[in-house]
């Protein structure tokens, strides 16, 4: 998964514009139908026929969480009116056990269950579900079917094959990497599409987006790529986005080299309408052979291309981990009582590192731009507890105490990847780095063979060098912050401090303000360095901005605040009303150019014969 922001509340500002087996008869298939034609009250009906059940009662589940989101989302809350029928068409007793599970009595006579499913995109706040894992139901126009929210499973039957039929209006086409089992059948104004999945995991791993046709496909070597775009106001076509995507994926394949990967990849891009209650959690969620991406439709093409580059490359690299290299917790994923692995530093961190490294490796960005990205990650990682062991945070990520640290997997997680890469290059005289390690782990384990969480460090040491254990236990499972300068020094890169221009409320992509989704209040972020303007206005972390020059501000018009501030003129008088610890205060000052001290990293100018320069070349272009 990749979230683009600190909180969903501030999304708009950033572009400045996530048992025991029950015996069933052999060769049974769970037959599931979703009706996208008869949409009622913005809901669709789903029916699930589990085949013969040899048990007096059985529990039906909709997932509480799904792989890759690392959050508790309770998809059952979008489901209502669950009914069970016997073979005579009579209703059986259904007892709701909790938000995500229903017990069905007299299960030996169960024919099928039916229920209505609501979507998440048009609920303000989306019930806390990260949009790329969410759902959309817009009759005759668009359906974002993240299937885990539509199709459930019966206790003990997650390994049973599924057959999924979707009845859709003829005017809509599907974008998915899910296998079609037969040719679609027309039925008047509707068409029946039929898909098959080997087990419940495949249902959740293959989202389908139905929308009016806006799709292209292209071939990259042995891989077919499908790019499916939903642009509600017709702003973008798939054809416009294709050149950038093609270039990025080709560079990624070239970076990965001989690693075994998929021969099919679907990119499902949902562009959200910013004028409506619509998806606002921007970013993407990974799957083995596809990714769902949600971004604002208002983004200019260049910004959209830039975001797609960062987001899709991150998701595509998930093919290595966790999709190929993962632990038992991930492989035997428990949708309703999940256990988390200790190794988010690898699943998300190394993936995010690759999504940056390949760009410099393949010449898409300059060395300086790569250092700048790492410098930004160092700066933002410092707003989290740098002594919290990543392994501890990872296995407890669903706990309230740790969930706020999740964003740091893209910051410090990626930096762990970078530091380990430099260390591996150093130990191997430049010969091999972290990509080689991931290839070895992938060969040892792979898609169908999970590792034991507690044995990963031993495996890494065995596949690399004994000295690597110290790195792992000091900086990943230990409490010691990474001394980045020491690692950069090995590759002849040094730290520089300089004063640079800053926006008033945004420093590049990093906001100084954040919003509270519940109270809608905008506040100055805590534990980050503020720019000269905010300091001269005497603002402090945690201050709630009530109004500026008479205009009241909340999350709802934070974008207007950014735009208005960009038009401020030097010397203009400002009067800010804030709330500090419950006390209302008025701060006054004048507009002055905002600056801040920035840490950057630069390559030392070294002769080719210098070992540091050779190591740097191996690191960045090896
Ligand atoms: Zn990710």
User: Are 217 and 203 in contact, with CB atoms under 8 Å apart?
Assistant: no
pLDDT for position 260? 60
User: Are 155 and 24 in contact, with CB atoms under 8 Å apart?
Assistant: no
The Å distance, Cα 348 to ligand 1 centre, comes to: 5
The Å distance, Cα 187 to ligand 1 centre, comes to: 40
CA–CA distance, 93 with 457 (Å, rounded to integer)? 50
Which residues 6+ apart lie within 8 Å of 430 measured at CB?
614, 615, 617, 618, 619, 622
pLDDT for position 20? 30
The Å distance, Cα 484 to ligand 1 centre, comes to: 23
The Å distance, Cα 568 to ligand 1 centre, comes to: 38
Tokens of 432: 């091999």
CA–CA distance, 607 with 614 (Å, rounded to integer)? 9
The Å distance, Cα 131 to ligand 1 centre, comes to: 14
The Å distance, Cα 409 to ligand 1 centre, comes to: 9
The Å distance, Cα 340 to ligand 1 centre, comes to: 15
CA–CA distance, 70 with 96 (Å, rounded to integer)? 25
The Å distance, Cα 68 to ligand 1 centre, comes to: 7
The Å distance, Cα 167 to ligand 1 centre, comes to: 32
CA–CA distance, 376 with 65 (Å, rounded to integer)? 31
The Å distance, Cα 606 to ligand 1 centre, comes to: 36
The Å distance, Cα 356 to ligand 1 centre, comes to: 13
User: Are 184 and 194 in contact, with CB atoms under 8 Å apart?
Assistant: yes
DSSP 591: -
The Å distance, Cα 286 to ligand 1 centre, comes to: 6
The Å distance, Cα 37 to ligand 1 centre, comes to: 34
The Å distance, Cα 376 to ligand 1 centre, comes to: 18
pLDDT for position 6? 40
Tokens of 453: 């969480």
The Å distance, Cα 622 to ligand 1 centre, comes to: 24
The Å distance, Cα 318 to ligand 1 centre, comes to: 7
Question: Can you name the residues that pair with 226 across neighbouring β-strands?
Answer: 217, 266
- For the chain, give the number of residues: 622
Tokens of 616: 């740097």
pLDDT for position 491? 98
Nearest to residue 151, comparing CAs of 214, 76, 239? 76
The Å distance, Cα 185 to ligand 1 centre, comes to: 37
The Å distance, Cα 315 to ligand 1 centre, comes to: 6
pLDDT for position 267? 96
Cα 452-454-460 angle, rounded to 5 deg: 85
CA–CA distance, 197 with 439 (Å, rounded to integer)? 28
CA–CA distance, 363 with 614 (Å, rounded to integer)? 18
The Å distance, Cα 535 to ligand 1 centre, comes to: 35
pLDDT for position 248? 95
The Å distance, Cα 130 to ligand 1 centre, comes to: 13
The Å distance, Cα 310 to ligand 1 centre, comes to: 11
Nearest to residue 178, comparing CAs of 198, 192, 197? 197
The Å distance, Cα 349 to ligand 1 centre, comes to: 8
Regions of the chain short of the pLDDT cut 50:
6-26
The Å distance, Cα 546 to ligand 1 centre, comes to: 35
The Å distance, Cα 177 to ligand 1 centre, comes to: 19
The Å distance, Cα 23 to ligand 1 centre, comes to: 36
The Å distance, Cα 319 to ligand 1 centre, comes to: 10
CA–CA distance, 218 with 213 (Å, rounded to integer)? 16
Nearest to residue 513, comparing CAs of 473, 470, 561, 449? 561
Preceding amide of 605 cis, omega within 30: no
């Amino acid at each position: 998964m990749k979230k683009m922001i600190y909180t969903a509340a501030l999304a708009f500002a950033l572009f400045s514009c996530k048992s025991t087996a029950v015996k069933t008869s052999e060769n049974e298939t769970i037959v599931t139908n979703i009706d996208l034609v008869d949409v009622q009250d913005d809901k669709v009906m789903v029916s699930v026929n589990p085949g013969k059940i040899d048990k007096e009662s059985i529990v039906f589940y909709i997932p509480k969480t799904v792989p890759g989101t690392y959050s508790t989302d309770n998809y059952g809350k979008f489901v209502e009116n669950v009914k069970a029928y016997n073979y005579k068409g009579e209703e059986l007793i259904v007892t709701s056990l909790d938000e995500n599970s229903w017990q069905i009595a007299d299960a030996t006579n169960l024919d099928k269950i039916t229920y209505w499913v609501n979507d998440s995109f048009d609920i303000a706040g989306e019930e806390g579900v990260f949009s790329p894992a969410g759902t959309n139901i817009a009759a005759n126009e668009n359906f974002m079917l993240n299937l885990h929210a539509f199709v459930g499973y019966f206790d003990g039957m997650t390994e049973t094959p599924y057959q999924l039929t979707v009845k859709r209006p003829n005017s809509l086409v599907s974008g998915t990497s899910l296998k079609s089992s037969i040719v679609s059948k027309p039925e008047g104004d509707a068409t029946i599409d039929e898909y098959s999945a080997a087990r419940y995991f495949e249902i959740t791993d293959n989202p389908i987006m139905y929308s009016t046709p806006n799709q292209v496909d292209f071939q990259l070597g042995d891989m077919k790529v499908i790019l499916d775009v939903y642009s509600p106001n017709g702003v973008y076509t798939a054809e416009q986005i294709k050149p950038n995507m093609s270039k990025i994926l080709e560079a990624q394949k070239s970076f990965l080299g001989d690693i075994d990967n998929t021969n099919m990849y679907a990119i499902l891009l949902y562009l959200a309408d910013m004028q409506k209650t619509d998806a606002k959690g921007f970013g993407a969620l990974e799957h083995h052979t596809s990714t769902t991406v949600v971004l604002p439709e208002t983004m200019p093409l260049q910004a959209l291309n830039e975001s797609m580059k960062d987001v899709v490359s991150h998701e595509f690299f998930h093919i290595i981990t966790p999709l190929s290299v993962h632990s038992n917790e991930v492989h035997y994923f428990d949708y309703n009582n999940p256990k988390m692995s200790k190794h988010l530093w690898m699943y998300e961190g190394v993936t995010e590192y690759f999504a940056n490294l390949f760009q410099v490796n393949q010449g898409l960005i300059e060395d300086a731009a790569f250092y700048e990205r790492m410098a930004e990650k160092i700066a933002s990682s410092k707003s989290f507890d740098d002594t919290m062991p990543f392994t501890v945070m990872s296995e407890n990520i669903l706990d309230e105490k740790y969930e706020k640290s999740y964003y740091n997997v893209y910051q410090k997680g990626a930096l762990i990847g970078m530091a380990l890469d430099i260390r591996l290059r150093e130990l191997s005289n430049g010969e091999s780095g972290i990509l080689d390690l991931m290839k070895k782990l992938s060969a040892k384990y792979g898609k169908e063979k999970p590792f034991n969480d507690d044995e990963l460090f031993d495996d890494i040491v065995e596949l690399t060098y004994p000295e690597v254990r110290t790195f792992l236990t000091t900086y990943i499972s230990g409490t010691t912050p990474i001394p980045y300068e020491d690692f950069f020094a090995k590759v002849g890169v040094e730290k520089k401090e300089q004063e640079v221009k800053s926006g008033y409320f945004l420093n590049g992509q990093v906001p100084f303000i954040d919003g509270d989704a519940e109270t809608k209040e905008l506040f100055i972020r805590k534990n980050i360095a503020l720019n000269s303007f905010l300091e001269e206005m005497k603002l402090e972390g945690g201050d709630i901005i009530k109004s500026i020059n008479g205009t009241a501000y909340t999350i709802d018009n934070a974008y207007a605040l950014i735009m208005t501030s960009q038009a401020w003129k030097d010397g203009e008088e400002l009067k800010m009303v804030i709330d500090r610890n419950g006390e209302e205060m008025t701060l006054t000052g004048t507009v002055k150019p905002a600056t801040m001290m920035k840490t950057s990293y630069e390559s030392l100018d070294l002769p080719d014969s210098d070992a540091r320069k050779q190591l740097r070349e191996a690191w960045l272009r090896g």
